[in-house]
Structure 1
Amino acid sequence: MIVRAFGLAAATIVALVGGASIASAQQVERNGNGYNVIACARGVGQGEARCYARIKSDARGNLFVGKNAITPNAVPSGYGPADLRSAYNSPSSGGNGRVVAIVDAYGYSNAESDLAVYRAQYGLPACTTANGCFKKVNQSGGTSYPRNNTGWDQEQALDLDMVSAMCPDCKILLVQTSSTSLANLGAGANEAAALGASVISNSYGGGESGTSSYASAYNHPGVAVTVSSGDSGYGAQFPATANTVIAVGGTSLTRASNTRGWSETAWNSGGSGCSTVYAKPSYETDSLCTMRMEADISAVGDPNTGVAVYGPGSTGKSQWMVFGGTSVASPLIGGMYGVTGKTANGASTIFADSASGFNDVTSGSNGSCGGTYFCTAGAGYDGPTGRGTPIGVAGL
């Protein structure tokens, strides 16, 4: 895998959540004109995964809420549900109680209460255990939850908020696995399918080597399994390269004075790549990669044009933050699949669309690949943004 070089050497900060928590080494990196805290530190081993959430910060890792100040209780400055539904022409209702599952590692004690703050802020209907909208289980479907972990708790907060933003009427199933091993995360994905999820969102990944024994966990015909493509630029990532999933890349999303009202380019750190492990599915017709190519579709991922999220800050105390990463894009697209209610067979329906259902992202790059579509956005299909970003749910 080719990893991007960042303009600032990574600094490490340590975050703790209470006495029963695991310490999470988090890194501060420069990205474009801004800085981000990497919620889940890089450097995981074979058979392990890391989450892809990034949080907008200053150079020292102080988390931003407003334009220039750290004010945890301020109205968030990142994009909210109305912005995101406007950008992707997604309906504000629909879902009819369909279950969108989120699979993440470790516990998150305040998941339900933090979600309530986000939904109340934006006028979304309550989603609670009591009203049957929210359910939290461990990887075996039980209620004995793993210990908290700051970075993965932040990832879970992001995932819950993005599903809520795009499908307010969906039910949400949060599956918390015991560790970051692909064996446990895969068990969580299988449990989500067994519990009746229509959509399973996975905002994590790692290298492809030695992953073939875990691929079956992401093969659930009739279920839309969305996976983040990564946040290290060009270089294949599993489970996004599994040929039964919908690999979701990242864009930079800005307001524009055009008919759409928005403009997008490929995010410079969003993932793409040509697999060396997984066979090419029949619906992929790009010419240079003879194996599975990622991504299939994309949505906002750049933390400099990020989304508002309510969840645990660096010290574990809940606050408003601005998030990016393809960890935004996977649950965002997952929520849109919740609205459609369509049966998914990997990304086949995306590639079957005539292209009228997508905004073609034609500029930007996520690395060095000889100028090919592997890492360079252009007309039609490209690795960083796939078919493009959705125009409503018809193309899904």
Structure 2
Amino acid sequence: MEQKQATTLLAIAVFLLATIAFIQPADPNTLQPQIDQWTAHPMYISPYAGSATPIGYTPDQIRKAYNLPTSGGEGTTIAIIDAYDTPNILSYFNTFSAQYNLPDNSTGNFLVHKMAQNMNTDSNWAMETCLDVEWAHAIAPNATILLVEATAPSSTALLAAIDYATSQPGVVAVSMSWGGPEFSGEISYFNYERHFDKPGIAFFASSGDDGSYVNWPAVSPNVVSVGGTTLTLNSDGTVISETAWRNSSGGFSSYFATPSFQTNFGLTYPGRAVPDVSYDGNASTGVAVYNGLWWQVGGTSAGAPQWAAIHALGLSATNDNLYARAKSAYASYFRDIINGSNYVYSASPSYDLVTGLGSPLTTNFGTYITLSPTAQQEIVNNTDLTGSVFVQTGDSLNVTGNGFDPGVGTATLFWDDLNVTTTEIDDNGSFSANVTVPQTNTGPHTLSINDGSSDFCVNLTRVPSTANNYTSGWQTSDFTIALTPDSAVNETFYRINGGNTQNVTADGQPLITVEGANNTLEYWSTWNTSSSATIELPHVILSEIKLDKTPPTGTISTDPTTATADITLTLFATDTVSGVAQMRFSNDNASWSDWETYATSKSWTLQGGDGVKTVYVQYSDNAGLDSTPYSCMVTLQTPQPMPTPQSTVAPTATPTVAPTTEPSATVEPSPTPAIPELSLLAVLVLMALSGLLSVVVFRRRK
């Protein structure tokens, strides 16, 4: 029984918390609403609230879901407007920051201003304050959070707190997670609208958690109205789905006319439509909030401070920009919520009266550029980059622009007053152009883009350039590379081959002495900026510096003797630095053949007659160094022609002709050898021998 009663009490508590924030005035037609009864609180608190450990989505998950950075907001202040005092808010802020690795208050990034010294407390407003402060900090960790505590939830007190916040330096966004139903006097500029009409400051308000009502101040055209979604995530923050939250308030105003930013987008409602955008709001997919214990919190109250933080990151989440970007490139800026409904309206493609344009996918909804390679982050108009972006004469900058007027067609880029290029703007308002930094004085300069309807300007600094006289290619002796700045610098430093740092004044200009093809020289200068701060200018690295001081070496050989003047030479050469490139030959070490590509063999013709010959070769490397001549000796001994011998006369034999069926060939008689002439003595000797032979023959016959 007790458990049933406890369950019933919890249900009643949840119901009361779900309806307490937006209480309708007794007479909605009066000029002055009964804002004394207004209160803002996260509308749905998870049944798992009150844990000793964190529950609900973490900053990392939300950032991943909405494509938000992990840091940013430097130099900006987000004002949080809530009622009553939250005494322990500083402690809660630091506990939340420590849990999620965010900067704590030791950096002075959280300020609290009480609109009166002695103020009441309220647990509902305390939870709202914790939600607003902690999650504005989670989304823009480097921004300053200014909490202004109004003395009461009345129109007078809350608007006074707004006026204080907007008077403080650095405030760029105001978050208001409170409101109530419309009233006729809301359109009064003097009484109400002037408080939201502050140049350079964007206002964000929760659209409400009652499903279909239109609430003030979210309905003001000077305020970005934030609706709610049901955001379902994986543990790593990747999105499973995002649908319209049933309690997200929306509709169109009974008093404000449709503003131009909505008519230009194409909306045709009879009055100002809300919400403008949306954000995770369902308590069942709520975020972690620390208020002495950990709670899982939802409601459109969660969206207003986080959209204010998004504006601090990109300085561009104004209604004019939001609708213009949605018109030009919807999917680049918003997740279009097309499923789900509140009590009256349904989500649909493009704008709808439950989730507006949808949830964010970027932090920059305005006109912005990127500069690469020097500053690749998104840069908004009138940004001073003189202390962070340094360029040199001749640098090529790629400039990309987004959010420019697509109706004009072209954008003209200027360096100060010099027209440097003109480029086309596409139908989405984007362009890309390359700009070469001209020869100008060192110091601050302005890069501006004119699209015909507006000028976009950023300031950057042209720093000195240090020139060098290095010429690429092989060098054959130690050489100096002279470094010369184009204007005064403090000093120029350098390192050769990653060695010790030297400076030109003390050590002289860089001297390259090491043989090789991969010497490096890194050099840079230091210079005083216009603010007298000394900066280190961009480093320049010269690589593949080539030095070869040693000519190639080699050999030549061939067979020691040859019977012909055409020979084959065997060759070998080496050069360990630049490599052997060519060779040439000579028979006398005076007249040389043309240079030809190095090879290990060569056909060559000796000159002159027989005898000992010398052949010379000379090698050349890729650096142009020639070797000393190398030679080899070869003996040329060509064979001498032999005399033709005379034939001896032999008796002519009678040829025997074999029978044949073919006609006999005519046999040519052999020529009779000529009888050589004999001397008288030879004749007498032959006669004597002939007589002796006759006697011998005669005697034998007898």
Distance 1:145 1:323, change over 3 A: farther
CA contact (8 A) 1:366 1:376 kept: yes
Q: Letter of the aligned partner of 1:237 in structure 2? A: N
Match of 2:109 in 1: 133
Structure 1 residue 11: Cα displacement: 7.7
Q: Letter of the aligned partner of 2:186 in structure 1? A: T
Alignment of 1:186-225 (within 5 A): 186-196=159-169, 197-209=171-183, 210-212=185-187, 213-225=191-203
Q: 1:149 aligns with which of 122, 126, 135?
A: 122
Structure 1 residue 42: Cα displacement: 5.2
Query: How far apart are the structure 2 equivalents of 1:320 and 1:145?
Result: 28
CA contact (8 A) 1:87 1:262 kept: no
CA distances 1:58-90 after superposition (whole Å, capped 9, x unpaired): 4xxxxx24xxxx5x312x120011011001000
CA contact (8 A) 2:234 2:240 kept: yes
Q: Letter of the aligned partner of 2:303 in structure 1? A: A
Match of 1:391 in 2: 361
Gaps of 5+ in 2: 1-6, 26-32, 367-702
**Could you tell me the TM-score, scaled by structure 2's length?**
0.46
Q: Which range moves more in the overlay, 222-231 or 283-292?
A: 283-292
Query: How far apart are the structure 2 equivalents of 1:270 and 1:89?
Result: 22
CA distances 1:219-277 after superposition (whole Å, capped 9, x unpaired): 22211111100000111100000010111110000026999534210100011120112
CA contact (8 A) 1:55 1:321 kept: no
Distance 1:211 1:50, change over 3 A: farther
Alignment of 1:333 with 2:307, yes or no, is yes
Distance 1:192 1:258, change over 3 A: closer
Alignment of 1:93-112 (within 5 A): 93-112=71-90
Match of 2:511 in 1: none
Distance 1:145 1:122, change over 3 A: farther
**Matched residue count:** 339
**Could you tell me the TM-score, scaled by structure 1's length?**
0.80
Alignment of 1:151-300 (within 5 A): 151-196=124-169, 197-209=171-183, 210-212=185-187, 213-255=191-233, 261-285=239-263, 286-300=266-280
Q: Letter of the aligned partner of 1:306 in structure 2? A: G
Describe the SS at the equivalent of 1:278. Answer: coil
Query: How far apart are the structure 1 equivalents of 2:350 and 2:199?
Result: 27
Query: How far apart are the structure 2 equivalents of 1:284 and 1:304?
Result: 32
Q: Letter of the aligned partner of 1:347 in structure 2? A: N
Alignment of 1:379 with 2:349, yes or no, is yes
Q: Percent sequence identity over matched residues?
A: 33
CA contact (8 A) 2:46 2:284 kept: no
Describe the SS at the equivalent of 1:363. Answer: coil
Taking only aligned residues, the RMSD between alpha carbons, in angstroms, comes to: 2.4
Query: How far apart are the structure 2 equivalents of 1:192 and 1:352?
Result: 28
CA contact (8 A) 1:53 1:326 kept: yes
Distance 1:379 1:256, change over 3 A: farther
Q: 1:302 aligns with which of 274, 279, 282?
A: 282
Answer 1 or 2: which has greater strand percent.
2
CA contact (8 A) 2:79 2:174 kept: yes
Query: How far apart are the structure 1 equivalents of 2:252 and 2:186?
Result: 15
Structure 1 residue 214: Cα displacement: 2.1
Structure 1 residue 155: Cα displacement: 0.2
Describe the SS at the equivalent of 1:186. Answer: helix
Structure 1 residue 97: Cα displacement: 3.2
Structure 1 residue 40: Cα displacement: 4.3
CA contact (8 A) 2:333 2:362 kept: yes
